[in-house]
Structure 1
Amino acid sequence: MAEPPLLLLLFLTATTAVPGRPCGPSALPQNTVLGRLGANVTLTCRAEAPGNGTVWWRVAERGAAGGGRRLAEGNELLLRHLRYEDSGRYGCARGGRPLRTLHLLVEEPPETPRVSCYRRSHDKDVLCEWPLRERPSPGTRAMLWVKRRFVAENGTEQRCRHFARARKFVCRVKVPAGAEDTKPLVVSTCVTNGAGGSAGEDRIITLSGVLKPDPPLNVTVAALPGAPHRLRVAWAYPPSWDPRFYWLRFQLRYRPEPAPTFTEVDQVTTTWLDIGDAWRGTRHVVQVRAQEEFGHGAWSEWSREAVGTPWTDPGDVTSDMGPSQFPTDDDTYGVTLPPELFATDAAGDTGGVPVEASAHPVTSPYAALVAGGSLVLGIALLVGIVVRYRQTWRTGGRRGAKPEGEGQHVLVPLGPPGPPLSDTPLLAPPGPPPVPSALHVTNLDYFFSGQ
């Protein structure tokens, strides 16, 4: 099998070598006994038991005068269920003469560090930290090394500090001279104590990639007069970021308190924003976070929640009662359903804007105008028809009346026969002209005449 080329060996060595010193347990001093937390340990005074006299054990207590607290007698001392507080100096004596002193150290092997690094701004140092599940023993030490990748140089060593309240180790990384924002750096960590050592996995970072600003400060939410659906949100840059040289971009999220999810607004470059689809009379929760203006690094944590309610009309009786209830005519209270029940899909016709449920029915003024105009027009048309046909009926009675018997069926009464024809004169004596008789019901042409 052919040997790998020299260049490949140098590349693998540069990428896999761990900068700094090996990570192992700290060397225990002489006459030091290591005990595990919760375990039992036996302390021995002499390899061979003393011949004459009784051996007594004592433990030195902090701040106590004299030889310390007396424990038990015998060449061996058994301590059960060790605690961190059991660490200390134990001595055995016979007849008042000390024979041996042992130092007991109660420790647990340290947890393996899982490091994450970040940088608050371009002109700040890099901070690397990792959380702890359990409180470390008093003798635990944590170290960090950083070096430029692919460069044959020794790593820069920094001591890490333990924060008991936050339960984590934090290391401040001094950026090597000449390091560029886009050049990779190798970060290595090691945690040791008397019980052992643990090395974390190497992290490869860049100075621009670990940018993570602090959250924005002084977030306020204010109502806009005369705008029941608008809110103005304002905030300020964090003190760790200087906006004179580098800017931030922001992301805002808000939700009405009845709603479980947030609405997000991206690509905000100013320190204020107007929300245009707020729910009327409802308190809203707002948060803001920041990122480097060109998208380098990660987003900051969300700011603290700020709350605000849109402007409400003082004449609106429902504004004082909130959006959940409204009075009815019988002085009882009905429930207004949440607006999201009436909203369509987020990708539907509403365009993602919540639909507000109203407690009062709203009548359009255009519908009322059309209804009133239709009523007036109908009445005018009815009056015109009545006047038109009233004149027609009057003129038709004068002009269209036909002489009696013309175009009619003459009704012949049934009765006794009249006088013989010889008795009836052929010509009637002259007299006044005949007067038109009353309207005949059977004369249907009168109703259908063209008058």
Structure 2
Amino acid sequence: MFFRDSVKARFEMGPHWIYLKLLPILFASLNTKGIQEICNPDDLKEAGVQAAAVGSDVHLICNNTEHDVQWNLNGEVIPESVNHVTRDGHLNLTDINLEANGTYTCRSKRSGAHLYSSTLLVGYPPKRPSLSCRSPNVNTIQCTWSTEQNNSIPTKYVITCKISENEKKCVFKSTNTCTIEANLQFLVVYKITVTSVNELGCSASETLTRHQRDILQPDPCTALQGQPVQGEDQQIWVTWQYPPTWMKHRGLYLLRFKLQYKATLASRYQEIITDKTEYVIMDARPGAQHVLLVSGQDKYGNGQWSIWSQEVIASPWKHNNRKSRDTKTIYKVFLLVAICIIVFLLLVGVVALTIVLRRHTLQHRQMSGDRQTQQRLKTYEENVSHVELLPTEPSVIAADSLTQPSNIDHMNPEYFLFRNEG
């Protein structure tokens, strides 16, 4: 602690501390010098024109040899609203206001000769302009500033742009707009100042210190439109285009887009973000008009979103009349009935096929049984005819052999008769 305090005391006592104290004064003097070089009201003066501030006093001299003269303002007698006094050919204006603007002429009352004329511009010293800059594409920086309002004194604007102490030229596009070529210098710091100058003084804006990537803001998107999707009463196909100032950079520097939409009677917008220049809204309100807006930004989030495009009104698909809706409903019902009929016919076919197969099976079984019965009857008839050839004397067959079925032909009718009687 003691060592740090001692070092601080020595530093404050030494010459380095004095230099540090003088640095802000030095920079302020350099800045003042730069402003003074820009602020040179004498460059704006014109012959026969005099500027004066509201509330000041102005003294005009007609002719040192003529004392009886007539002063006029814009060819007429000076109004009483302009405080003035004439003495010995001189005109004294006090606490002037904006009504004192105009051309003052002096004529001799005796000869009527024109002796003197001068234009007086009454106004205000320039106000401090408000400067804003944005980059509509990767190659350009565009700056705008506020201009003087209700000031009769012409005001000139001087733009200074520095990149690492090197000055860049800002090409004027209008009285309050100029453009700087950026040349893709995203990481370079730009220092931009605008100074307003007139005959009564000058005033510089706050210096804007920015990276280009921080002020990147595309122009509004164009060609926004919404179209209904045929047959879909909840869909709107929305398309748009890149800003014209970004088109030539589209291959390397892409944008992302924010689409907002809502039904005209709805209170809130719905929002989606996409990299494409088209989108299909899937939840539109059937039969309602919708408001569409789109904005663009650098794809990787550098800078700001562009201002919104112009509003576009679009609606989803609308059926022309009730007849078309009824036709669609009838078509759906017809399709449903046709499906039911097909299913019914299939079921009838399956039942009929099952019945036919079952009947065929029964007939096959019956035919098989008839053939077996016929075969048995035939066999029986053959056996009967064979038995008739045998002797009918009961004594021929031994009594004990009747009890042995194995010794009797099983197809003998007498065997069957015997078994039946038994």
Contact 1:53-1:94 within 8 A present in 2 as well: no
Of 248, 251, 258, the match for 1:251: 258
* Alignment partner, residue 41 of structure 2: 26
1:111 aligns with 2:127: yes
- Counterpart CA distance in 1 for 2:28 and 2:51 is 37
**Per-residue displacement from partner, 1:80-133 (whole Å, max 9, x unpaired)?**
86438824454465755666554422221222111110122113x311112347
Identity %: 22
The equivalences for 1:35-434 within 5 A come to 35-37=52-54, 39=55, 41-45=57-61, 54-58=68-72, 69=75, 71=77, 74=87, 75-77=89-91, 82-83=97-98, 86-88=101-103, 90-91=105-106, 93=108, 95-96=110-111, 101-123=117-139, 125-132=140-147, 134-148=149-163, 151-153=164-166, 155-156=167-168, 158=170, 160=172, 169-175=176-182, 180-242=185-247, 243-266=250-273, 268-313=274-319
Q: Structure 2: where are the runs of 5+ without partners?
A: 1-11, 79-85, 326-422
CA radius of gyration, larger in:
2
Distance 1:201 1:44, change over 3 A: same
Contact 1:230-1:310 within 8 A present in 2 as well: yes
The alignment partner of 1:120 has SS state of: strand
Distance 1:12 1:194, change over 3 A: closer
How many equivalent pairs are there? Answer: 296
Distance 1:191 1:84, change over 3 A: farther
Contact 1:93-1:99 within 8 A present in 2 as well: yes
Q: Structure 1: where are the runs of 5+ without partners?
A: 62-68, 164-168, 320-451
C-alpha RMSD of matched pairs (Å): 3.8
Bigger helix share:
2
Amino acid at match of 2:149: E
Q: CA deviation at 1:228?
A: 1.9
Distance 1:240 1:204, change over 3 A: same
- Counterpart CA distance in 1 for 2:319 and 2:57 is 77
Q: TM-score, normalised by structure 2?
A: 0.59
Q: CA deviation at 1:213?
A: 1.1
**Per-residue displacement from partner, 1:257-298 (whole Å, max 9, x unpaired)?**
1112211112x1111001111111111101101111222221
- Counterpart CA distance in 1 for 2:172 and 2:72 is 36
Distance 1:114 1:7, change over 3 A: same
Contact 2:53-2:122 within 8 A present in 1 as well: yes
- Counterpart CA distance in 2 for 1:187 and 1:152 is 11
Contact 1:142-1:160 within 8 A present in 2 as well: no
Contact 1:43-1:78 within 8 A present in 2 as well: yes
Q: TM-score, normalised by structure 1?
A: 0.56
Contact 2:39-2:201 within 8 A present in 1 as well: yes
- Counterpart CA distance in 2 for 1:227 and 1:15 is 69
